[in-house]
């Protein structure tokens, strides 16, 4: 089943970042987007995940045109179906890691999965304040928070940027298992070609174009 379909997306800030970018994502599929710093990867992810409106083009998520969607429906879609793991973690800083997960638990009405916390190796520090955790632990808490929601589409921007190679691979395996078990899909932005090659498809953002390289 198709989860995401983007057609002819164009976007500029001070200058044109890219034009006529098209992309499709199906259930159980993972797509990696690579490209040099400043090429517009994060911006493209923001367009695909409804955080930003493109200058032109179409974005369809779960069969619905998101650019035509009413604000209330759009916020329900974001809350229940989209999982965003971004470069900065946006965890609630005054809360413990567990309290951050409880926010997802309440909003999405899904249970916190203790096995997930063990798998991410954060079970032992889950009751500490977010500010007392290392960067890599915070990153894994934000991944746990997103997966707790049971999203249909995961948008991940360098989700393993603060992790050592072995832990990064573990986290990627967890994502792939999640996609299979939950009929979900993932768009991953990464600098790491090894991680990109673990995905089903790789696209490179280069010279204002998105080109499939695998």
Ligand X SMILES: Nc1ncnc2c1ncn2[C@@H]1O[C@H](COP(=O)(O)OP(=O)(O)OP(=O)(O)O)[C@@H](O)[C@H]1O
Q: Does 13 bind ligand X (CB under 6 A)?
A: yes
CA distance 26 to 124: 36
- The alpha helices in 49-134, defined as continuous H runs, are 71-81, 97-108, 114-119
State residue 64 phi and psi, 5-degree precision: -115, 140
Q: Does 42 bind Mg ion (CB under 5 A)?
A: yes
Q: Does 17 bind ligand X (CB under 6 A)?
A: yes
Q: For the CB of residue 56, give the shortest distance to ligand X in the complex, in Å.
A: 17
Of these partners, Mg ion, ligand X, none, which one is at the site of residue 40 (CB under 5 to 8 Å by kind)? ligand X
Helix H, strand E, coil C: the string for 121-153 is CCHHHCCCEHHHCCHHHHHHHHHHHHHHCCCCE
Residue of 30, 39, 139, 152 that binds ligand X (CB under 6 A): 39
Q: Does 88 bind ligand X (CB under 6 A)?
A: no
Judge whether 111 and 105 are in contact, CB under 8 Å: yes
Piece of 41-49, 74-82, 126-134, 136-144 that binds ligand X (CB under 6 A): 41-49
Q: Does 100 bind Mg ion (CB under 5 A)?
A: no
Q: What is the contact mask toward ligand X in residues 151 to 170, using x (rule: CB under 6 A)?
A: --------------------
């Amino acid at each position: 089943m198709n989860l995401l379909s983007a057609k002819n997306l164009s976007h500029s800030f001070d200058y044109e970042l890219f034009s006529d970018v098209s992309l499709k994502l199906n259930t159980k599929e993972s797509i990696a987007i690579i490209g040099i710093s400043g090429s517009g990867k994060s911006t493209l992810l923001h367009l695909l995940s409804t955080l930003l409106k493109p200058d032109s083009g179409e974005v369809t998520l779960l069969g619905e045109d998101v650019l035509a969607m009413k604000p209330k429906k759009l916020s329900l879609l974001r809350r229940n179906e989209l999982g965003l793991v971004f470069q900065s973690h946006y965890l609630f800083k005054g809360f413990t890691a567990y309290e951050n997960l409880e926010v997802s638990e309440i909003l999405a009405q899904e249970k916190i999965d203790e096995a997930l916390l063990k798998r991410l190796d954060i079970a032992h520090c889950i009751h500490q304040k977010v500010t007392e955790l290392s960067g890599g632990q915070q990153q894994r808490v934000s991944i746990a928070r997103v997966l707790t929601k049971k999203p249909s589409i995961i948008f991940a921007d360098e989700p393993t940027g603060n992790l050592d190679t072995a832990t990064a691979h573990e986290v990627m395996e967890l994502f792939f298992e999640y996609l299979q078990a939950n009929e979900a899909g993932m768009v991953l932005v990464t600098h790491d070609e090894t991680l990109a090659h673990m995905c089903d498809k790789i696209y490179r953002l280069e010279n204002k174009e998105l080109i499939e390289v695998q």
